[in-house]
Amino acid sequence: MNNVMIGLEVHVQLNKLKSKLFCGCSTDYQDEEPNTHTCPVCLGLPGALPVVNRKAVECGIKVALALNCEVLEQTLFYRKNYFYPDLPKGFQISQYDFPLAVNGKMSIETDRGEKIIRINRVHMEEDPARMIHEGGIQYSRHSLIDYNRSGMALLEIVTEPDLKSPKEARRFLDKLRSILEYLDVFNGDLEGAMRVDSNISLAGGDRAEVKNISSHKGVEKALSYEATRQKNLLRRNIKIIQETRHYDEERGITISMRTKEGEEDYRYFPEPDLPPMSVKSWTERLKDEIPELPDAKIRRFVEEYGVKENHARSLTSDIEIADYFETVCKSSICTIPRQKVVRRAREIDPNMAASWIVDVLKGELNYREMKIEGSPLTEDKTIKILKDLSSGKITEKNAVEIIREILDNGGDPEEIARRRGFGRLDRSETEILVKKVIEENPKVVEDYHKKKKRALNFLVGKVMALSKGKSAPKDVNELLEKYLCED
Ligand SMILES: [Zn+2]
């Protein structure tokens, strides 16, 4: 798909704020009855006046700075007029000219290396209410409306059409989500936290807007469907019309909704109930509150811990996993004072920790749809498991089994290893088995002395079988050679 051009409009709910964008209603409505977190402002009752949530503006500025945007000197709210039941005022308070910030950029990792995606703008707006169509929008006999969501603070992040494939669009959203979570302004697990509209066009065709992609995972599927649809039309010489299409997540297809309205249809005008804001002077202070972001963390993990770049990327894509990794590595630093020089040695090799967390733990968590935060496998347990693994007390297979059991049922790694008879035999225990095998196989021993290499392999196999795989292969080889020489 070389000639595809995709631009995204990402709506991000600032769902970590305590109250909505223009009123004091609580944002904590996800598990509540519909229409219980409302007031005259977010229900759009006549005469109710909005007041801007200062924290929401601060979150918006932080996101804009993290996306390398310029914050404008003056920013202004507008009324975007349209009639729809999810918007009882008849307009949405949004931004138009003078958005919060413009001209940003964010890099994504593509198959051909790093790529810069330009950000056109970041603006603030209120979330409309949630419409629920039982059985899907095409078949539902009525619309249900929940105003709990009405008035939630949204950020709209608009990219230039720099994305060249549905896969790049997904990468962009994954990265954006991780930045928002680093900034602690957003919980991507909540329903409707990130909704995406997208423009997609092929060279030689008009662009279509695909709306209502409600999960960042759905984006790749929706856009792939739409790109293929357009390609097939072009191939048959059918003109692609500029229109808005709705993504039906259950069926995985896009459906024509209406020809696209132009901006003039919205009759934008400045919101008379909210004065212009000059917030650029806040940026210096807010810059200091921005934590280390994913790109910087990747570089630091590579430099400080010497982990491979692909491991660093995987560890840092989720801030909880990144913190978990650092706790596991840091807790194992011991300082050894030696001739006034403090040497820092790590009990757990960071490369080994990285590889266990990325290659094993993340997979086991995904499989169980669990998050590391709040899982029974706390950092101290992983530290114990990795220490026992590196000292040879348990095998790699044992370690995987212990991790699985703790994720499923909790428990202590040492207790599990004891109960399930995990662990390696020590050298003296292996020695007994070696002597026994030599005694019981005189014929093979004779072969060994005739310089038959196969004979040694056979004996090694016997000892390993006898120990149920718990002897260290190094011990078995050394001891066999020792006793066979004496023989
Ligand atoms: Zn309210």
Q: Please tell me the predicted confidence (pLDDT) of residue 68.
A: 97
CB 209 within 8 A of CB 244: yes
Q: Please tell me the predicted confidence (pLDDT) of residue 332.
A: 56
Q: Please tell me the predicted confidence (pLDDT) of residue 344.
A: 55
Find residue 114's DSSP bridge partners.
Answer: 109
Distance from residue 186's CA to the centre of ligand 1 (Å): 20
Distance from residue 215's CA to the centre of ligand 1 (Å): 26
Please report which confidence band the pLDDT of residue 43 belongs to, taking 50, 70 and 90 as the band edges: very high
Q: Write out pLDDT tens, residues 377-390.
A: 999 999 999 998 98
Distance from residue 41's CA to the centre of ligand 1 (Å): 5
The ranges of the chain annotated as CATH 1.10.10.410 are 427-486
Residue 157: is it exposed, middle or buried by C-beta count within 10 angstroms (0-12/13-18/19+)? buried
Number of H helices, E strands in the chain: 16, 16
Kindly state the DSSP code that residue 282 receives in the 8-state scheme. G
Distance from residue 66's CA to the centre of ligand 1 (Å): 29
Distance from residue 143's CA to the centre of ligand 1 (Å): 22
Distance from residue 43's CA to the centre of ligand 1 (Å): 7
* Count of CB atoms situated within 10 Å of the CB of 177: 19
Please report which confidence band the pLDDT of residue 343 belongs to, taking 50, 70 and 90 as the band edges: very low
Distance from residue 127's CA to the centre of ligand 1 (Å): 12
Please report which confidence band the pLDDT of residue 469 belongs to, taking 50, 70 and 90 as the band edges: confident
Length reported for the chain = 487
Spatial CA neighbour of 324 closest among 378, 386, 401, 403: 378
The secondary element (H helix, E strand) that includes residue 380 is helix 379-390
Q: Please tell me the predicted confidence (pLDDT) of residue 333.
A: 53
**Which tokens go with 58?**
């601060």
Distance from residue 431's CA to the centre of ligand 1 (Å): 76
Q: Mean of the pLDDT values across residues 386-397? A: 87
Q: What is the CATH number of domain 427-486?
A: 1.10.10.410
Distance from residue 87's CA to the centre of ligand 1 (Å): 13
Does the pLDDT value for residue 395 go beyond 60? yes
Please report which confidence band the pLDDT of residue 393 belongs to, taking 50, 70 and 90 as the band edges: confident
Q: Write out pLDDT tens, residues 404-447.
A: 999 999 999 999 998 888 877 778 888 999 999 999 998 888 88
Name the residue type at position 172.
F
The C-alpha angle with vertex 386 and arms to 348 and 468, in degrees rounded to 5, equals 135
Q: Report the phi/psi class of residue 339: left, alpha or beta, with left for phi > 0 and alpha for psi in -120 to 50.
A: left
Q: Please tell me the predicted confidence (pLDDT) of residue 375.
A: 94
Distance from residue 155's CA to the centre of ligand 1 (Å): 18
Q: Mean of the pLDDT values across residues 159-166? A: 95
Please report which confidence band the pLDDT of residue 486 belongs to, taking 50, 70 and 90 as the band edges: low
Distance from residue 44's CA to the centre of ligand 1 (Å): 9
Share of the chain above pLDDT 70, in %: 95
Contacts of 58-61 spanning 24+ positions with Cβ under 8 A? 58/282, 58/286, 59/14, 59/16, 59/17, 59/153, 59/155, 59/183, 59/185, 60/14, 60/100, 60/101, 60/122, 60/124, 60/153, 60/155, 61/100, 61/101, 61/279, 61/282, 61/283, 61/286
Q: Please tell me the predicted confidence (pLDDT) of residue 14.
A: 96
Q: Please tell me the predicted confidence (pLDDT) of residue 342.
A: 47
Higher per-residue confidence, 111 vs 270: 270
Find residue 101's DSSP bridge partners.
Answer: 71, 122
* Count of CB atoms situated within 10 Å of the CB of 324: 22
Higher per-residue confidence, 402 vs 137: 402
Distance from residue 179's CA to the centre of ligand 1 (Å): 28
Please report which confidence band the pLDDT of residue 391 belongs to, taking 50, 70 and 90 as the band edges: confident
Q: Please tell me the predicted confidence (pLDDT) of residue 258.
A: 66
For residue 121, the number of C-alpha atoms closer than 13 Å in the C-beta half-sphere is 13
Does the pLDDT value for residue 58 go beyond 70? yes
Distance from residue 137's CA to the centre of ligand 1 (Å): 27
Distance from residue 42's CA to the centre of ligand 1 (Å): 4
Distance from residue 225's CA to the centre of ligand 1 (Å): 38
Cα(215)–Cα(192) distance, integer angstroms = 8
Q: Write out pLDDT tens, residues 192-243.
A: 899 999 999 888 778 888 887 887 778 889 999 999 998 898 888 888 888 8
Q: Write out pLDDT tens, residues 83-142.
A: 888 998 999 999 999 999 999 999 999 988 899 999 999 999 999 999 888 887 778 888
Q: Mean of the pLDDT values across residues 138-153? A: 92
Does the pLDDT value for residue 261 go beyond 70? no
